[in-house]
Amino acid sequence: MEKRGAFEKRCYELLKLVPEGKVTTYSEIARALDTRAWRAVGSAMAKNKNLFVIPCHRVVRKDGAIGEYALGAVKKAQLLVKEGVEVSNGRIKNLTKYIYRFRT
């Protein structure tokens, strides 16, 4: 089994590929890592201490809900809107338009 720190690093490296104005999901990152451990991806995002280098605000739930963020959900929504992502009532409007899928 992969060490936790190595898994987190792989999550962060993938996340750095997500451009401004796009979002990805916990399950999408897990899929790109060839695992079903989307909860472990969420845990890695929660441990991120480098919020602006590793843009975990760009990770949302697969239903479009923006989810949690170290600086609060309101700040997460503000950051996404600033990047051009449409957010309404704590959800990404038209997730299909903004989703970033990793090539595997």
Q: Confirm if 66 and 60 have CB atoms less than 8 A apart.
A: yes
Predicted local distance difference test score (pLDDT) of residue 52: 82
What CATH number does the domain located at 4-98 have?
1.10.10.10
Q: Where are the domains of the chain?
A: 4-98
- Is there a catalytic annotation at residue 11? no
Residue corresponding to tokens 């919020």:
51
What six digits make up the tokens of 34?
Answer: 């060839």
Q: Confirm if 30 and 41 have CB atoms less than 8 A apart.
A: yes
Catalytic residue among 15, 33, 56, 66: 56
Predicted local distance difference test score (pLDDT) of residue 103: 86
Task: Give pLDDT tens digits along the chain (104 positions).
Answer: 457 689 999 999 999 999 999 999 999 999 999 999 999 999 999 999 999 899 999 999 999 999 999 999 999 999 999 999 999 999 999 999 999 999 86
Predicted local distance difference test score (pLDDT) of residue 1: 45
Whole-number Cα distances in Å, 20 to 5, 59, 101: 26, 12, 14
